[in-house]
């Protein structure tokens, strides 16, 4: 059986879908070792934005256009980082809280700017894992329910790296509890 390691990933975006809206920041860390982390802010690759999304992220598109990395450079840095932290650890597994959203942007950007996605073609959704592992209804998988049940030390802040670390902690607590239940 091949080895694998979990990478918690969170993004902030200017709207609900890649291709029309921009990924503005990405944060990632290794589950179980959150100090192995990366945070990147990207230049918007589209002027289209949802004002509510920008309000949540706190980003200014004009400022990011000056200070953010070109998307191709950002994705190259993320790929290099994954290779470094994954050396000898095996295949990286994308882990996210509401992974379908974050995954859609990361997958799109990797393919658009690098031609391939180092994660492959799949992602692990923490909400779905939580639901299945603990025999819960979907409505019971909100992050607030998880926090009450699992008691993480971190909280979500809408900073991509902070949130990646928060997600990593939640997932690690789920894995630990699942081992004790099983």
For 150-169, the pLDDT digits (tens) are 999 999 999 999 999 999 99
* CATH code, domain with 118: 3.30.420.10
pLDDT of residue 1: 47
Q: What is the pTM of this model?
A: 0.94
pLDDT of residue 29: 98
pLDDT of residue 113: 97
pLDDT of residue 87: 83
Q: Which two tokens stand for residue 30?
A: 């290794």
Q: Which are the catalytic amino acids? A: 158
Q: Provide DSSP, 89-147.
A: T-EEEEEETTHHHHHHHHHHHHHHHHSS-TTTT-EEEHHHHHHHHTT--GGGGSHHHHH
Give SS3 for 30.
Answer: strand
81: number of CA atoms within 13 Å, CB side? 19
Strands 4-13 and 91-96, how do they pair?
Answer: parallel
Handedness of CA 126, 56, 112, 43 (dihedral sign): negative
Residues of the chain short of pLDDT 50, as ranges, are: 1, 182
Looking at the structure of the chain, the number of domains it has is 1
Q: Which domain holds residue 175?
A: 4-181
From the list 5, 7, 149, 4, the residue with the least C-alpha distance to 141 is 149
């Amino acid at each position: 059986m091949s080895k694998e390691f979990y990478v918690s990933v969170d993004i902030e975006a200017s709207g609900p879908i890649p291709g029309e809206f921009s990924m503005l920041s990405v944060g990632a860390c290794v589950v179980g070792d959150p100090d192995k982390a990366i945070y990147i802010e990207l230049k918007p690759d589209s002027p289209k934005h949802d004002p509510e999304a920008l309000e949540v992220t706190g980003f200014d598109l004009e400022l990011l256009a000056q200070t953010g990395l070109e998307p191709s450079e950002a994705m190259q840095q993320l790929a290099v980082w994954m290779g470094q932290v994954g050396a000898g650890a095996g295949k990286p597994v994308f882990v996210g809280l509401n992974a379908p959203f974050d995954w859609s942007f990361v997958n799109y950007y990797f393919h658009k700017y690098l031609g391939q996605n180092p994660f492959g073609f799949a992602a692990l959704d923490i909400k779905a894992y939580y639901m299945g592992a603990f025999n819960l209804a979907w409505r019971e998988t909100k992050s607030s329910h998880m926090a009450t049940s699992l008691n993480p030390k971190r909280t979500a802040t809408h900073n991509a790296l902070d949130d990646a670390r928060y997600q990593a902690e939640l997932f690690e607590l789920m894995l630990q509890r699942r081992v004790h239940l099983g």
